[in-house]
Amino acid sequence: MTPRLRAGLVLVAALAFGISPVFTQGFKGYDKSQFPILIADPAILPAGYAFSIWGLIYLWLFAHAAFGLWKRAGDANWDRVRLPLLGSLGIGAIWLAVAVRSPFWASVLITLMAAGALVALVRAPARPDRWLLLAPVAIYAGWLSAATGVSWGVLLAGFGVMPDTGAALVMLTLVLALALAMQFRLRRAPEYGITVIWALAAIIARQGADNPVISGFAALAILLVGGAALRAGSSGSAGTGGFTPPDPRGIFGPR
């Protein structure tokens, strides 16, 4: 498989992923009737507004894929990101269709999606195409890291494996551990941690004072991940590949 073919397949997968909600309109999370234990409001669920980030993710990944095929088809830095990202996006294209039928298999698939996105993120360099290579992959991986924890937390509680708050605490602990490990490794990608914080803040917004244990733990997680992301941004500004303004010459110039 040539690099150009891989680039083309990533574009096709990004398109399929982005239009997949059209075919599953009305999906607002797992149907409570799919679980043997009815939990009116699972403790790990974020507020509904948090899911609006998917619009940004879809558009940014499409821009990433289109630019990658147009201007960076043969670039080795881009090409090593493509296979794991392709696998993740390919699974993502069918995820909603699975989620409306089986929360268990949806949880398995979103775990695989997150794994592919994280591998792609580890392989993505910050320069010279930070805003079209690293950044979109980072927010995608960050959101999937949190969403995977949410999916398994709802599943564990809904099937009675653990109490609702206990399941939420276990999964939030795992999300926190993963986010810190990734953010400390990827000092060039504070966007990853910022996206995890977006999800954690939405959990606080939904749970609030009704579940102070979960809200308090999520707040602690925000402080820890925020510190790691801030350190990442500071390291980058010191010259290790963090936030830099996009250079039109680097984006549109020949490569």
DSSP string of 184-210, one letter each residue: HH-TT-HHHHHHHHHHHHHHHHHHGGG
Token code pair at residue 112: 């695989």
Mean pLDDT of the region 198-215: 97
Instruction: Give the pLDDT confidence of 38-54 residue by residue, as tens digits.
Output: 998 999 999 999 999 99
Mean pLDDT of the region 233-240: 56
How many whole angstroms separate alpha carbon 83 and alpha carbon 81? 6
- The residue whose two tokens read 């940014």 is 60
Output the pLDDT for position 27. Answer: 75
Band of the pLDDT at 223, cuts 50, 70, 90?
Answer: very high
Terminal alpha carbon distance of the chain: 21
Mean pLDDT of the region 66-82: 96
Output the pLDDT for position 29. Answer: 84
Domain boundaries of the chain, sorted by first residue: 3-23+41-244
Q: 149 and 171 in contact (C-beta within 8 Å)? A: yes
Least confident of 27-31, 138-142, 169-173, 233-237: 233-237
Q: 250 and 128 in contact (C-beta within 8 Å)? A: yes
State yes or no: pLDDT of 255 exceeds 80: no
Token code pair at residue 74: 């043969």
The answer for residues whose C-beta is within 8 angstroms of residue 222's C-beta and 6 or more apart is 197, 200, 201, 204
Mean pLDDT of the region 176-190: 95
Q: 185 and 65 in contact (C-beta within 8 Å)? A: no
Band of the pLDDT at 236, cuts 50, 70, 90?
Answer: low
Alpha carbon distances (Å) from 73 to 43, 66, 86, 121: 44, 10, 14, 18
Assign 253 to helix, strand or coil: coil
Output the pLDDT for position 240. Answer: 44
How many whole angstroms separate alpha carbon 139 and alpha carbon 64? 12
